[in-house]
Chains A and B, each alone.
Chain A
Amino acid sequence: MNTAVLRTEVRLFRREPGALFWILLFPTLLLVILGSIPSFRNHDADLGGLRTIDVYVPVAVLLGLIVGGLQSMPQTLTGYRERGILRRMSTTPVRPAALLTAQMTVYGGAALASALLALLVGRFAFAVRLPEQLPGYLLALVLAVLAALALGAVVSALSRTTKIAGAIGSAVFFPAMFCAGVWAPVQTMPDVLARIVGYTPFGAAAEALNRAAAGDWPGWNHLGVLVAWTVLLTAAASRWFRWE
C-alpha cells in the first residue's frame, strides 16, 4: 500500500460526481423515498412485525457497495489498464498493484460510508433501530464489502475494455440487486427462493445483516458463504487479471 497513491486516488474519487452520487447518496435517497410512503412505516405481520422501512435499511446498506464494487470500480480499473496508466506506473519503483489496492480501499471506504449514512438516516429520520448485534453486523458488512470488491475485481479482470466492463458490470448488477433484496427483501421471498438467494454473495450478506440487526449473531453459514465467495473470486481475479 502506497499512501501517496491512495491519497491521489481519494482525491480523484472526490472529483467524480457520478460515483459520489450513486455510491454515497443514491442508496439513502432510495431509503428516504420509500420511507416517505406512509404504508411502509406500518408494522407488517408478514415481516414478523417489522415495518417495510426496517427491512429496507440493510438493502440500502448493500446497494452502495454493489454500485461501488460492480459498477464504478471495474470501470476505473479497466480504464487505468486500457489507457496505459498501470503500464506507466510499472516503470516506477511503485508497483501498479498499489493502484489496485488504492482503488479497492477507496471503493471499500465509500461503500462503508454509504452504509453508515443509510443507517444514520434510517435511525434519525424513520426511527429504524440501529443494529443490536453490532460486532456481528460490522463483521457481516466488512465481509460483504470484500465480496463486492472481489466480484468487481473479477469483472475488471475479464473485461478487456471499459465498454465490456460496463456491460458485464450491468449484467451482474441487476441479479446482485435482486439478491440483496432491492425489489423484494429476502424476508418476503418464498422459502425456496430465499434459500437459493442465501448462497449468493449479496443474498447471504442480506441475511447476515438482517439477523445482526435483529440482535442475533449473523450465522456462520451466511458468513461462511461470504468468505467462500471472497476467496473464490479473489483467486479468480488474480488468476485472470492482466496488467496490459
Chain B
Amino acid sequence: MSVIEVSELRKSYGGRAVVDGVSFAVEEGEIFGILGPNGAGKTTTVECVEGLRVPDAGRVRVTGLDPVADHARVARVLGAQLQESELQAKLTVREALELYSTFYERPLDWRPLAERLGLAQRLTTRFGKLSGGQKQRLFIALALVGNPRVVVLDELTTGLDPRARRDTWELIEDVRANGVTVLLVTHFMEEAQRLCDRIAVIDKGRVAALDTPAGLIQRTAGATVISFTPSAPLDAHELNALPALASIDDRDGRLTLSGTDETVNAVITLLARRRVTAHQLRVVDATLDDAFLDLTQEATA
C-alpha cells in the first residue's frame, strides 16, 4: 500500500482551477519531490495531503486515512513544515520544541534534533529574534519532533545558506534511512536531483511528468549538451542539419548545442571534416534544470 495516495485531485479558488486532476502515489521510505513553477498548484496539493484544505474532487489518502475526515489520526503520523507560518514571537526555541513534543505520543528527543539543525546555541532565543534561516530550521525540527511516518516539507531549504542547506539534506536522508516517507515541495533543482527518488513535475495544476530525476533528464529532447568555441565559423546549414539536434545557441562565437550522443559524434565529425578546432570543448549531461524548463515550456506551448 502506498503511504500517500492522491488521485484526480481538484481544487479551485474563485472559479480558477488551481489543482486540476493531480494523481500520484508515494511509497513507504521514498523521498518524493513535487517540482513546478510558481502558482502551479504545488502548495495547494500538499495542503490537501496535510488536511489543511478540503479537495473539491478526487481522493487523498495518507497511510490509508482521509486527511480531512480522519484529521486527528493523520496528524499523529504526519509532520508538516508549512511554507508560511510563524510561532508566538516571545516563545523561545526550547519552549517551542518542548511544547510540540508534548503533542505526540512517542516524540523524538528534541535535543539531538536541535543539535543537528544548528539550533543548540539558540535554545533561549525568542522566535521573533531568530533569523529567517533559523526560523526555517526550527520549523524543520518541529515537523520531525513528533517522530512521524510521513513528513511533508514545503520549500525545505528556502532561506538557508549553502552550508545549512547541505546539512539539512543530510538530515532528510537520515530521516528517510529510518523508514520515514518524505514529500518534498521544492524550487531547487539541485535539491530535487540530490534527494528525490521520484519527482512529479506539476504545471498549471496538472502533472506534466512523473519519473526519477535521471528519467526526467533522459526524456528531454536535449539530454546531452555540447559547447565549444570554434576556431573558424561553421556553416549554419551544416549545424542545423546535425542529427537529433534539440537546440542551438550562438553566444559571442561560443556554440552550445543540445541533443543526444549521436549529435555529439556528428559535431566531432563535422569539426574534423572542416579542420576546425573546438576550443574549450565541454560535453555534459543536461541537468534537471534543463529538463524542468523543457517540460514546463512544453506544457505552456
Chain A residues at the B interface, C-beta cutoff of 8 Å: 4-5, 8, 11-12, 15-16, 80, 83-85, 87-88, 90-94
Contact = CB atoms under 8 A, between A and B. Distances in A.
Contacts of B51: 91
B154 to A, nearest CB: 11
A83 B85 contact: yes
B76 A93 contact: yes
Contacts of A8: 88, 91, 95, 99
Contacts of A12: 88, 90-91
Contacts of A16: 90
A14 to B, nearest CB: 9
A99 to B, nearest CB: 9
A8 B94 CA distance: 12
B104 A93 contact: yes
B50 A91 contact: yes
A88 B104 contact: no
A76 B50 CA distance: 26
A120 to B, nearest CB: 29
Contacts of B146: 92-93
A136 to B, nearest CB: 38
Contact of A84 (B78, B82, B98): B82
Given A12-B91, A92-B75, A93-B104, A84 B52 contact: no
Contacts of B99: 4-5, 8
Nearest to B91: A12
Nearest to B145: A92
B75 A93 contact: yes
Contact of B78 (A15, A83, A87, A91): A91
A26 to B, nearest CB: 21
B102 interface: yes
B67 to A, nearest CB: 10
B82 A87 contact: yes
Contact of B72 (A4, A15, A80, A93): A93
Contact of A90 (B52, B79, B88): B52
A184 to B, nearest CB: 38
Which 3 interchain pairs have the tightest Cβ spacing?
A: A84-B85, A91-B80, A83-B86
B84 interface: yes
Given A84-B84, A92-B104, A92-B146, 11 more contacts: A16-B90, A90-B52, A91-B50, A91-B51, A91-B52, A91-B78, A91-B79, A93-B75, A93-B103, A93-B104, A94-B103
Contacts of A83: 85-86
A16 B85 CA distance: 22
